[in-house]
A and B are shown apart, each in its own frame.
Chain A
Amino acid sequence: DTAVSQTPKYLVTQMGNDKSIKCEQNLGHDTMYWYKQDSKKFLKIMFSYNNKELIINETVPNRFSPKSPDKAHLNLHINSLELGDSAVYFCASSQVRNSGNTIYFGEGSWLTVV
C-alpha cells in the first residue's frame, strides 16, 4: 500500500476553474503538508496541519484552501485557477519521534492551467 497517496496525478484545467487535489496517508502520522514545486524545481512549503489544525500557512494566496477532515487526510482546494498555479503539488506527512521525525512524500499531482 502506498504510504502517502494523492489524486489526481495529472490535472489539466482552464483558467478560472476551481479544482481540488486529495491526499491520504496510512502511516498514522499526525502532521500533514502541502508543498509546491514550480518550473524551476524549487520545492516550497505551502501549508502544514497537525491533528487537523493549521499550524503553518506560508504566504499562499487565499485562493488556496486546505481542508483536513481527519488527521489522515489533507485536501487542497484551489479557486479561480491562474496560469501561475501550474506546478507539481506534493502532499507529505510526518510524525515526531524522539530520534527525530522524517517526512514522507506522495508522488505528486501535476497541475497545468491553460
Chain B
Amino acid sequence: DAKTTQPPSMDCAEGRAANLPCNHSTISGNEYVYWYRQIHSQGPQYIIHGLKNNETNEMASLIITEDRKSSTLILPHATLRDTAVYYCIVRVADTGNQFYFGTGTSLTVIP
C-alpha cells in the first residue's frame, strides 16, 4: 500500500472550515483514499473515502487532485467535537490488504 504524509498538527477556529491535507504521491491506480479519525479514548471512526472523484457526505468532503497524488479532507464547519487525530490511508479495496495507519494529523478546534 502507498504511504501517506500528513502534517502532525493543525488548529482551526470553531465554525470555520478545517482543511486537512494529505500527500500520497506513490498511489496506484486501484488504490482508494480513506479518511478516519480518532477522538480521544475512542475507536477510529470512518469519515469518507474516494477513488478519483470528489466525494461529500454528512460529515465531510474529500477533494482528490486530478493526478491523485494528494487530497484534502474538508470539515465545513468545525466544532469542538471535531478535535481528534485524522488519518489518511490509501489502500486497494481487497480483503488481503490492510488498513495501515500512520501518525495522522492532530486537529484542535479552538473556541
Contact = CB atoms under 8 A, between A and B. Distances in A.
B44 A96 contact: no
B102 to A, nearest CB: 9
Nearest to B85: A41
B98 A105 contact: no
A106 B43 contact: yes
B contacts with A: majority SS: loop
A108 B100 contact: no
B40 to A, nearest CB: 10
Contacts of A30: 95
B98 A45 contact: yes
A12 interface: no
A83 interface: no
Interface residues of B, number: 22
Interface of A: 4, 30-31, 33, 35, 41-45, 48, 50, 55-56, 58, 90, 92, 94, 96-97, 99-108
Given A48-B95, A55-B95, 20 more contacts: A31-B95, A33-B99, A41-B85, A43-B38, A43-B44, A43-B87, A45-B99, A50-B95, A56-B96, A90-B43, A90-B44, A96-B93, A100-B32, A102-B34, A103-B99, A104-B46, A105-B43, A106-B43, A107-B43, A108-B41
